[in-house]
Chains A and B, each alone.
Chain A
Amino acid sequence: MKNKIAKYLIQLGDNCLILGQRLGELCGHGPALEIDIALTNISLDLLGQTRAYFQYAAEMSDDFDNEDQIAFLRKSSDYRNCHLTELPNTDFAHTIIRQFLFDQYHQLLLTDLMNSNDEKLKAIATKSIKEVNYHLRFSKDWVIRLGDGTETSKVKMQEALNTVWRYTEELLRPSELDIEMEGLGIGTNPDQLKEEYFEKVKSVLQFATLEIPENKFFGKGGKEGVHTEHFGYILSDLQYMQRTYPNQQW
């Protein structure tokens, strides 16, 4: 059982780790100094949350002794993050759309996890929700501002939305583990968040004068360890030091 909970914590942490890693690429390259600082803040929060999940997971797990083993020393197919978090920082439109679509999910998820009967998980969710409320406010404001800004910004945002939209469904599709954890009162079945998620997201997108894309193909597979083509490159950066210099203290 403990090992199952560890797996669930790792699944939760992986989204934070990979999105935090993606945002970390942008540090120093933002469109304005203030935005650079804000995106770095979000990255820092997400990596802080990752550490909380992984430290707890390391306590519970049969397979891992510490947070870094979990973060750096797994095979691609053992990471459980959703595809959305792997998408590249194509431009600021893609970055901020990806962020908004994740933040809204993240906020609903944590709100539910705050009721977990696992005290430690509950504590992590309670601490993280404050950060995520801020992330959501930031990304939502920018989606509205850029959607309803200039002709150029509108086109860019619509293009980004069209690309990223198909990855939303996966966030809300339960894995077997999600269902099991929900049954035990520990975790959340994201399917229950679906209705509220799309309602909230669509209302912001309307505010931003953006069109909701058609549901074409929905990305999936992340929670089962099947990732996008981008993922291997993320791992080659993320794991570079730990793989090149194994078993050392840093």
Chain B
Amino acid sequence: MDAFEKVFEAKLEAEEKIEPKDWMPEKYRKTLIRQISQHAHSEIVGMLPEGNWITRAPSLRRKVALLAKVQDEAGHGLYLYSAAETLGVERATLLDQLHEGKAKYSSIFNYPTVSWADIGAIGWLVDGAAIMNQVMLTRASYGPYARAMVRICKEESFHQRQGYEIMMTLSNGSEEQKAMAQDALDRWWWPSLMMFGPSDKESTHSAQSMAWKIKRKSNDDLRQQFVDVSVPQAEYLGLKIPDDKLKWNEERGHYDFGEIDWDEFWNVIKGNGPCNEERLAARVKAHEEGEWVRDAALAYAEKHSNKQKVEA
């Protein structure tokens, strides 16, 4: 181990943050770029399924809240791309990777939003699962990432409360509304559990990320924590979680739950989910159609700074 590496390891040991100018192992840098950019991509792809319902939100209050939420996600994308840029990679490059299908984003966004209740279920479960993953990232060893996550987590917990409140309104509403809420839970439950990634035995990146203190808890631990928190919340709504094996285990002090359909899990990751193509196509379309706008803004800025030089 050389001197640089010793300093790096000592900082990790002492829980000091690694900052952009600090020396870091190339693999640490690459892992962070991969993780932060995947996270950023998830935020902006995640705008699409919920964005679907902005024009159809059932009340003005809900419309405004949903718009604000989806806008928050765009902001999260921005902070995260900026955090990735501190590692020496440009946003444009990362976006190209997304558009070429080389970069991943959270599979949950490859599921369709088919009813208004999905907006509630997503806030409650998907933002809820995201928070569980992300709270530990506020303590990630890389400073800019950890700081971005602090900001993001605050907003995510607001999203979660808002989503749960939608579910609550539906559950206390008409028979139709209750059925709508149950149907959304039926469809979003399993994909939400999948958000924690492969099981610990299958996870390729987990161990190293834990050693580098980028990640603090294993996928399975987080998934268990999520189930434990969500079961009483579903009960309070009077909704049934679609898992026959779900049962309190006195001995473990946790809920036991059924096995995830790992075939489906890997299939959606490989691009065969219900909306993979649509999501990517929508991002590519926005990017391509925006090219002339971005080019013109650059051209104008250049022209303008030249003019100023001539005048001066």
A residues contacting B by CB (< 8 A) are: 21, 24-25, 27-37, 40-41, 43-44, 47-48, 50-51, 54, 67-68, 71-72, 91-92, 144-146, 148-150, 152-153, 156, 237-238, 240-242, 245, 248-250
Q: Which of B44, B59, B291 interacts with A33 by CB under 8 Å?
A: B44
Q: Across the interface, which residues of B come within 8 angstroms of A43, CB to CB?
A: 67
CB of B286 within 8 Å of the partner chain: yes
B residues contacting A by CB (< 8 A) are: 44, 47-48, 51, 54-64, 67-68, 70-71, 74-75, 77-78, 81, 116, 169, 173-174, 176-177, 282, 285-286, 289-297, 299-300, 303
Find the B residue at minimum CB distance from A145: B300
Find the B residue at minimum CB distance from A50: B60
A248 and B174 contact, Cβ closer than 8 Å, known pairs A27-B51, A29-B286, A54-B60: yes
Q: Across the interface, which residues of B come within 8 angstroms of A48, CB to CB?
A: 64
**Chain B nearest Cβ from A242, distance in angstroms:** 6
In the complex the two chains form, is B55's CB within 8 Å of A24's CB? yes
In the complex the two chains form, is A41's CB within 8 Å of B71's CB? yes
Q: Which of A41, A68, A91, A153 interacts with B295 by CB under 8 Å?
A: A153
In the complex the two chains form, is B303's CB within 8 Å of A241's CB? no
Tell me the bound Cα distance from A92 to B285 in angstroms: 13
Number of A-B contacts defined by CB within 8 Å: 134
A71 and B55 contact, Cβ closer than 8 Å, known pairs A37-B71, A40-B74, A149-B299: no
**Chain B nearest Cβ from A139, distance in angstroms:** 13
Tell me the bound Cα distance from A21 to B67 in angstroms: 10
**Chain B nearest Cβ from A13, distance in angstroms:** 10
**Chain B nearest Cβ from A56, distance in angstroms:** 13
In the complex the two chains form, is B300's CB within 8 Å of A148's CB? yes
Per CB-CB distance, the 4 closest pairs between chain A and chain B, nearest first, are A31-B290, A149-B296, A153-B296, A241-B58
**Chain B nearest Cβ from A230, distance in angstroms:** 13
Q: Across the interface, which residues of A come within 8 angstroms of B77, CB to CB?
A: 33
Q: Which of A33, A43, A68, A242 has the most CB of B within 10 A?
A: A33
Tell me the bound Cα distance from A30 to B51 in angstroms: 12
